[in-house]
Amino acid sequence: MIPELPSHAPEGASCVDGAERRAFYFESGGRALFAWLHRPAGAVAEHGVLICPPIGHEQVHSHRALRHLADRLARQGFTVVRLDYHGTGDSDGAEDDLQRLATWQVNVSDAVEWLRSEAGCRKVSLVGLRLGATLAALYAEQHEVESLVLWSPIVKGRRYVRELTALSQTAQLVAGSDSAGIEAMGFVYAHETAGELAKMDLLSRSVQCQQVLIASHANAAGDLSLEEHLLKQGVVTELMALPGYEGMMAEPHETEVPHEALRGIVDWMTAKAQPAVTARGSAPAPGATSMLTCGANAVRESIHQISSTPDLFGIMTEPVEPSTTLPWIVMVNAGAAYRIGPGRIHVALARQLAALGYPCLRLDINGIGDSVVADPDKENDTYAATAFRDVELVCDYLHAQQPSRRIVLLGLCSGAYVAFQAAAQLPHPAIIESILINPLVFFWKEGMTINNTSIDQLVAWREYWNAIFKWRRWKMLLTGRTRTGFAGSVKRFMGHLTPRFQRFGRSAEAGTKPELQSGCGHPAHKDLPGDLSRVAAAGRTLAMFVSDNDPGYFLLMYQARRKATQMMKQGGLQCHFIHQADHTFSTAQARETFYHSLTGHLHQRFGSEVIDERALDDDFALLVPALRE
């Protein structure tokens, strides 16, 4: 049985729309796993459901949909757990650990046991997506369960490994980057793990279950092999085509919750299980802190419900014996990817920096990840104006805990924009620096999109500017051997030049007085030189980390060269360039290079408060293996 939730729950609990949520840790195989508990508000459900997610990029992309599924099941009277397997999400472990598949099977078994022993569930069913569906079926081979929902299951592991290999090859990774395994969409699958996955075959397995739902996506080719296999075993099996799979698995900022598909699954579960609820009892609360090792050091992670209105959730990673001088590092969402970041980069960074003494909070701003927005239509807004309110609330939350500790904001992509404008706007005295990783914009207003014409023009201008110094391009232009001919090329060039002159006119008219919307939010006018001046006037510094071919540095120099150059000379702005890296550092090599550069910057910035140079190199050598996640 689970305890009554207090009105302000400090251990990662919240209640929205009739479903209570609580984040917690539990032990599996001697390591800490992170999970979410969902249940009906004000009651205990005796039928438990374990949601088994996919792995890799599919886990990041489907996170939003599976949270909605868990809430729907809880509102229908189920106690639901959705977990992160070892080496995934917010759980302990790294992807280069051995025996991944066997470990994940143990994780599923321990999660079911937690539902029975700690949550008081007499019956347990499993819902799995992609590899999670395969793990659910493998569990049911050894243990009897009430029902199974296998959503787009991986029936043949060999085919799945081929898909991952194709993704790796499509990404055109740098030479030699596959030495550690298959690198697909920012995740590394060790050769041993790939070999284990390739051996999976559900058509050679049986299940101890009376009823199974195989949910396929509507556009999938009709493969009836698993259904026929289960029917031969005497298992009542239904096949249901569910819409919305492609939208659910899109890039995080483009995901769409497949409400019709979720409704179909929940209706099937409710009809088969007929869940019942009982009055609330009392029992020890789930764990809110985990201990884990990172390199040669131990770090502690803890769950933080920063605010209930608005809902703000985060995970703190800090050294076991925290320094009193090193600043907090607050990691803001990268796009709509939830707090672990693309390729789980925020988890790796937080743990490595905590091992060096920096306490790190990886945050979900309201409407992203597990910080649930009151109006579902407003979730997944990657450039929400309320992000600045959220950052200010986080600063207040941390400042109340340790008033003397300073705060560094860190963000990738849209998170870089939030970190930058927060440094320019927020008056909070604890903020001392913002770290901008591959920013795409420095100004945003409602109605803009990341593919906005003005942004495209600036990126195109960069390409034209680079082309000016290449004789081959001039020769093609002067001889008319371009697609548009000499006149057409000149016209296009001047067209991209025009916005630069227009900007100077607008800046002269706007003056230097900042005009912001009421409260914290997007600035009313584009004024990058003025924003930089406000950062400097507040006594704050900026650091930029930019990948090859990413437009952030070019946009900075295009819009505010004079002020940016001045700040660089005065030490208020540093720019670092990461070679052979894409926008989200999707290869292990790029992540290692970025981490080393970031650590070197922090060492330079905070001097002896970190460690000496020799210790820095030694620790980096120890910590690099854990970055391969």
Which tokens hold the place of 38? 């969902």
Residues 272, 214: Cα–Cα separation, whole Å: 14
What per-residue confidence (pLDDT) applies to 507?
38
Residues 599, 541 share a domain = yes
Higher pLDDT among residues 480 and 220, named by residue: 220
Average pLDDT, the chain: 84
Fill in the amino acid letter for 307: S
Say what the pLDDT of residue 179 is.
Answer: 57
Model confidence pLDDT, tens digit, residues 47-84: 999 999 999 999 999 999 999 999 999 999 999 999 99
Residues 373 and 490 in one domain: no
Tokens 């029975």: give the residue: 116
Tell me whether the omega of the peptide bond preceding residue 153 falls within 30 degrees of 0, making it cis.
Answer: no
Which residue range is the domain that position 568 belongs to? 289-449+516-627
**For the chain, give me the number of helices (H) and strands (E)?**
18, 22
Q: Which residues of 286-318 are buried (b: 16+ CB within 10 A; e: fewer)?
A: bebebebebbebebbbbbbbbbeebbbbbbbbb
Asked whether residue 386 falls in the same domain as residue 272, the answer is no
Domain boundary among 256, 278, 300: 278
578-602 pLDDT, tens digit per residue, is: 999 999 999 989 999 999 999 999 9
**pLDDT over threshold 80, residue 615:** no
- Give the per-residue pLDDT at 280: 57
Would you say residue 460 lies in a domain?
yes
Q: What mean pLDDT do residues 359-379 have?
A: 95
CB-based burial label for 483 (10 Å; 0-12, 13-18, 19+): exposed
Q: How far apart are CA 373 and CA 341, in angstroms?
A: 19
Kindly state whether residues 175 and 235 are assigned to the same domain: no
Do 42 and 182 lie in one domain? The reply is no
CB 536 within 8 A of CB 564: no
Q: In what order do the strands lie in the sheet with 13-16?
A: 13-16, 19-28, 31-40, 79-83, 47-52, 123-129, 148-151, 211-217, 236-242
Is residue 72 located within the same domain as residue 217?
Answer: yes
Q: Indicate if 111 and 240 belong to the same structural domain.
A: yes
Select the highest-mean-pLDDT range: 38-42, 112-116, 221-225, 286-290: 112-116
Cα separation, 226 vs 200, in Å, equals: 13
Q: What are phi and psi of 115, to 5 degrees?
A: -60, -40
The answer to the question of residue 346 being in a domain is yes
Q: Which of 229, 253, 278 is the last residue of a domain?
A: 278
Q: Say if residue 371's pLDDT is above 70.
A: yes
- Please tell me the chain's helix, strand, coil percentages from 3-state DSSP, rounded to the nearest 5: 45, 20, 35
Whether residue 383 sits in one domain with residue 313:
yes
For residues 357 and 444, state if they share a domain: yes
Q: For residue 451, give the amino acid letter.
A: N
Which of 142, 166, 199 marks a domain boundary?
Answer: 199
pLDDT at position 462: 54
Residue 333 confidence (pLDDT) = 98
pLDDT tens track for 542-567:
999 999 889 999 999 999 999 999 99
| Amino acid at the residue 350 | A
Give the residue, 499 or 233, on which the prediction is more confident: 233
**Position 419: which residue type?**
A
User: Do the beta carbons of residue 542 and residue 434 sit within 8 Å?
Assistant: yes
pLDDT at 519: 60
Report the CATH number that the domain containing residue 348 is assigned in CATH. 3.40.50.1820
Specify the number of domains making up the chain.
4
62 domain residue, yes or no: yes
Q: What is the pLDDT of residue 614?
A: 39
d(CA 182, CA 196): 13
Determine which of 185-189, 260-264, 296-300, 488-492 has the lowest per-residue pLDDT on average: 488-492
Q: Which of 359, 339, 343, 363 is nearest to 351 (CA)?
A: 359
User: Does residue 494 register a pLDDT over 80?
Assistant: no
3-state SS, residue 518:
coil
CA pair distance 307, 394, nearest whole angstrom: 8
- Residue 514, both tokens: 């900042």
- pLDDT of res. 429: 96
Residue 519 Cα to chain centre, angstroms:
28
- State mean pLDDT over 32-48: 90
Kindly state whether residues 296 and 356 are assigned to the same domain: yes
Q: Which sign does the torsion angle of CA 336, 340, 344, 349 carry? A: positive
Alpha helix segments (H runs only) across 571-612: 588-606
Asked whether residue 5 is assigned to any structural domain, the reply reads: no
In degrees, to the nearest 5, what angle opens at C-alpha 154 toward C-alphas 152 and 159?
125
Q: Is 8 inside any structural domain?
A: no
- My answer on whether 186 and 297 are in the same domain is no
**Helix, strand or coil, per DSSP, at residue 158:** helix
**pLDDT single digits (tens) 270-293:** 998 877 777 554 444 567 888 777
pLDDT value at 482 more than 80: no
Residue 433 CA to residue 102 CA, distance in Å, equals 43
**Residue 1 resides in a domain:** no
Q: Are 440 and 359 in contact (CB under 8 A)?
A: no
Per residue in 143-193, pLDDT (tens digit) is: 999 999 999 999 999 999 999 999 888 665 444 454 578 999 999 999 999
Which of 198-202, 258-262, 495-499 is predicted least confidently?
495-499
Does position 251 have pLDDT exceeding 90, yes or no? yes
Dist CA 422 CA 404 (whole Å)? 20
Per-residue pLDDT, 473: 53
CA end-to-end span of the chain: 35
Among 38, 65, 48, CA closest to 111: 48
Q: Are residues 45 and 126 in the same domain?
A: yes
Does residue 180 sit within a domain?
yes
Distances (CA, A) of 274 to 12, 63, 240, 331: 29, 26, 20, 42
Is 150 part of any domain?
yes
Say how far apart CA 215 and CA 240 lie, in whole Å.
Answer: 5
Instruction: Residue count of the chain, please give it.
Output: 629
